[in-house]
Chains A and B, each alone.
Chain A
């Protein structure tokens, strides 16, 4: 049986990396795509500055540009215009290998559909994160991280043997095991039931409190209540930016 997420779970951010600076800065960033003869603008002249250790929720309807924003910060994509800096490093001007290095050592991802490796066990999936980031004692790091998300007892199970919530926790553990100071989560609760979703948000919230900069993309407004800051996108523009209305709520108060 899966173990519950431990309340005393220790965050696993690599302190030395966090100290290197994890600010996220976007200045006049636009992203346009050409689809045949048509140019589609996903983001238009976006300016955004995120401090270290913030828990930021990016809200917006489908097609508003929130995932594009996350991809640009995560160096998966390159801006057509403007400048993206992560931890002081200019992602826009970086070469492909430099962007790969940034993904190895600065940012980590949690995907909506988990994207676990079916050929690796839960523990090995988590170890993957630590291995790629080049962390010493990758195995031990993976074990403690997996225990941190309450899945020590499921370490040797393969993804197809885990429930959706367990798979997402493994995915988060994989991202955390990198020890990278910026965590980017794209609809992390999108495929989960309410209880599991809340548990996952609690886990992410704790990482932010421990010093990780967490950016969560969602269309679920309820999730925004636990954020330090809520950024709302519409048609590629930031239409709102600030703390959640009514102040930050504890995770236990969420319901949807």
Chain B
């Protein structure tokens, strides 16, 4: 009992002597476990926040929107709901009028003119309630509108003011607010993508919207809230059928398929998968490092353990001191890990609140995740010391207490060591030899660095994949007529309509080409995906997509799908698909299904975008119709001047540059980068700590070798250079492993996980040369330079004392 107390006191003295090392190892562990807990903990509080936010605003279960250009008398859509067989399951209904528009909130300080949408809604809507974040909401009898919160926040707009919408009409806004569909601005409709910076949503009393559209008493959308357990798909199908019977073609979306709803939840799942990878890598890095470092510390006690064995101390008591080291690191690691986790969690919480300003944000402490991380954090160092302790107490005392040359152990890979005879001075061979003669240490340190670098590459690889895809898309979009803009009308018009002539005849317009944009659904072999079909001149026009497979004639006689759409439908050029699309009839629009051949594949990353040659418009009953124009500025006119001029033309709903989609994505990536930046910073810190600890321990282990070199007059810089070269090899090895692993994780995340979360967007995984250079700079450069921190301690070395230390 007394011996045990002595050993514990000894362990405490050990701690006092090397508290810096113990803290540094614990910090490595804490970074791994803390970030692990913080990253995995995000899922719980994001899901809770989503649930509360959607429920608070009573989000719809079904949304049915009439086809482009169609409206109905107010009450028609609600009456149709009343006629469906499942009418009893409908708890609440609200009719809306959705108008595409341009939103101008320019002020003296900034120019803000973006495409957007007016959502005309009942002021006391029982479904999809408006959450007002500042100012005041919609009020009966008051035409004032409410600006979408993210858009207003992005441009730092005041709570109240005036704005202008397409047709150069002025509106007063009284506050900022949110509807569930716009918690995240992820869709501009028809599969297009945008963000809060490039898409302005205006919530207006229904009457105000109807007045703006010159369509008093008209609506074009209905939202339904169903009783619990109701079959939303069946309700949607029944309602569509009911509306079809009235020649009101429509599209229906159930809550689970709403892009925002789905994205917000699937994003959590996707992120969780991604975080699991990142957290796993960080934890692995920390585990390798902890195992390596604790092993080496215990190895250094080998002789003392031998002496105690020689004095007859029982083995289990011998294990107390090294195990106490493990416990010290464990306890400190867990405590620091909780701190790291809480700080990182708060950092993530703040970032998510900024990125996704939901009406309700809850961040409960994820006890289960932290408990799991703490258990891991506690066990890892214990395992790290258990193995060398077990080895140390199993040797014969006589072996353990050997000193000097007798203590020299058999070195593995001796023949290989001999072959590593690099030309030059003898001591230039030492770094590589040191690595080979201590393979376990080399491998564990390299794997620790490798795991950290893999995390970094995986994080940046995702950004690279995004930006690489966007760059390709930009290049494709600006292949010809790069300064062209797409003008979208609020309705469908004949090609010779005055509204079209008003645009093509405007003095600011140079060339123009007509387009008809229709929504549709493609089906093949049981797969079904929504499409935004652009009916245009594929043989000419201002711009046409690059088309692979089938040739130009084939492309003009079939539909041109995106690569992702073709992959998801499992089709190639020459195959046939079923296309569900609106078809014009004498009374309006109805839905029809046409079997059509796949004429070609275009390289665009957005799955929904598809092209049809205008020669096929007859099949859709849309010959001679247009709802969009592509126009270039006249000579001497800038794109901004053109946009502003067209803003004033009646019935123009939006004007967007050819690269608007990628601009929006780039903007969104900026925010995404800040989230990933946290992970990257932790990774960098971890890699540096691993390298620093390894170097620090190596310096202790090689104290006598270093002292001998100094005794022979080798300058300090030469000794440090050897450390730098040795670390550079470890860094190189770790970075090579990290780059390989990182690329695999990037591919998995982008091509499997991200495709599952965001199937509308297809992109190949890529790791840019910049990322490789950054990984090399950090993995090799930073790791190699850590021996520089030993310069001072080497300078203060007591050479005679170190030389006389036996083992």
**Measuring CB to CB, which residues of chain A are less than 8 angstroms from any residue of chain B?**
67-68, 71, 74, 76-77, 96-97, 100-105, 108-109, 111-121, 124-125, 127-129, 131-133, 138, 142, 156, 158-162, 164, 167, 178, 191
Please determine whether B429 and A124 come into contact, CB atoms closer than 8 angstroms.
yes
Give Cα A162–Cα B410 distance, bound, in whole angstroms: 11
The residue that B404 contacts in the complex, of A68, A102, A178, A191, with Cβ under 8 A, is A191
15 contacts between A and B (CB under 8 A): A68-B800, A76-B711, A102-B713, A114-B404, A115-B704, A117-B708, A119-B433, A119-B437, A120-B429, A124-B421, A127-B425, A128-B426, A129-B712, A131-B426, A164-B404
Min Cβ gap A33→B in Å is 10
Q: How far is the CB of A74 from chain B (nearest CB, A)?
A: 7
Cβ 8 A contact of A113, one of B404, B409, B437: B404
Judge whether B712 and A109 touch: CB under 8 Å.
Answer: yes
* Residues of B with C-beta under 8 A to A115: 704-705, 707-708, 711, 803
One of B55-63, B104-112, B411-419 at the interface: B411-419
Does B806 lie at the interface of the complex (its beta carbon under 8 Å from any beta carbon of A)? yes
| Given A124-B429, A178-B712, 4 more pairs with CB closer than 8 A | A97-B715, A118-B408, A142-B426, A164-B405
List chain A residues, Cβ under 8 A from B708.
Answer: 111, 115, 117
Complex Cα spacing A164 to B429, Å: 24
Contact check, B804 vs A120: say whether CB atoms are below 8 A apart: no
The answer on a CB contact under 8 Å between B405 and A77 is: no
User: Which residue on chain A has the smallest CB distance to residue B715?
Assistant: A100
Name B residues whose Cβ lies closer than 8 Å to a Cβ of A: 403-406, 408-411, 414, 417-418, 421, 425-427, 429-430, 433-434, 437, 704-705, 707-715, 795, 799-800, 803-804, 806
Q: Considering only CB atoms, which chain B residue lies closest to A100 in the complex?
A: B713
CB distance from B415 to the nearest CB of A (A): 10
For B403, what are the chain A residues with a Cβ–Cβ distance below 8 Å?
A: 113
Q: How far is the CA of A108 from the CA of B95 in the complex (A)?
A: 97
CA distance A139 to B687 in the complex (A): 39
Q: Which interface residue of A118, A120, A124 has the most chain B CB atoms within 10 A?
A: A118
Residue of B404, B426, B715, B795 near A120 (CB, 8 A) is B426
Determine if A103 and B711 form an interchain contact, defined as CB atoms under 8 angstroms apart: yes
B433 and A120 form a contact (CB under 8 A): yes
Please pick, from A74, A113, A124, the residue contacting B711 in the complex, using a CB distance under 8 A: A74
Give 4 nearest A-B pairs by CB, closest first. A104-B713, A103-B713, A119-B433, A113-B404
Cα separation A158 to B710 with both chains bound (whole Å): 21
A166 to B12, CA, bound (A): 42
Partner of B806, one of A76, A109, A113: A113
Interface pair B800/A76, CB less than 8 Å apart: yes
B411 & A101 in contact (Cβ 8 Å cutoff): no
Known: A113-B405, A118-B411. A77 touches B800 (CB 8 A): yes
Cα A119 to Cα B414 in complex, Å, equals 9
Give bound CA distance, A101 to B714, whole Å: 8
Query: In the docked arrangement, what's the CA distance between A11 and B401, Å?
Result: 37
Q: Which residues of A contact B803 (CB under 8 A)?
A: 76, 111, 115
Closest chain-B Cβ to A101's Cβ sits at a distance in Å of 7
**B425 engages A131 (CB within 8 Å):** yes
Chain B contacts for A67, CB-based, 8 A? 800, 804
- CA of A105 to CA of B715 in the docked complex: distance in angstroms? 13
Check if B712 sits within 8 Å of A159, measured CB to CB: no
Q: How far is the CB of B130 from chain A (nearest CB, A)?
A: 73
Measured CA separation A120–B411 after assembly (Å): 12
Contact assessment for A120 and B714 in the assembled complex, using a CB-CB cutoff below 8 Å: no
Bound state CA distance, A121 and B776, in angstroms? 32
**In the complex, what residues of A have CB within 8 A of residue B713's CB?**
100-105, 132-133
A108 to B713, CA, bound (A): 9
A152→B160 CA distance, assembly (Å): 93
| Measured CA separation A68–B410 after assembly (Å) | 34
Contacts of B433 in A (CB 8 A): 119-120
Determine the chain B residues whose CB is within 8 A of the CB of A127 once the complex forms. Answer: 425-426
Q: Is the CB of B409 within 8 A of A160?
A: yes
With a cutoff of 8 Å between Cβ atoms, the chain B residues found around residue A131 in the complex are 425-427
- Shortest beta-carbon distance, B582 to chain A, in Å? 77
**Which residue of chain B is the closest to A142 with respect to CB atoms?**
B426
Nearest CB of B to A168, in Å: 8
How far, in whole Å, are A118 and B409 apart by their CA atoms in the complex? 10
Q: For the complex, what is the distance from the CA of A138 to the CA of B427, rounded to whole Å? A: 12
Complex contact A158–B417 (CB within 8 A): yes
Instruction: Say yes or no: B712 contacts A76, CB within 8 Å.
Output: no
A159→B426 contact, CB < 8 A? no
Once bound together, how far apart are the Cα atoms of A104 and B426, in whole Å?
15
B414 adjacent to A161 (CB under 8 Å): yes
Docked CA distance A222–B429 (Å): 40
Q: What B residues does A121 contact at CB under 8 A? A: 418
- Give CA–CA (A161, B437) in the complex, Å: 13
Inter-chain contacts of A142 with B (CB < 8 A): 426
Across the interface, do B405 and A114 meet the contact criterion of CB distance under 8 Å?
yes
B421 to chain A, nearest CB (A): 8
**Is the pair B425, A138 in contact by a Cβ cutoff of 8 Å?**
yes
Contact B417 A109, beta carbon cutoff 8 Å: no
Q: Please, which residues of chain A bring their CB within 8 A of the CB of B714?
A: 100, 104, 132
Asked whether, in the complex, the Cβ of B429 is within 8 Å of the Cβ of A119, the reply is yes
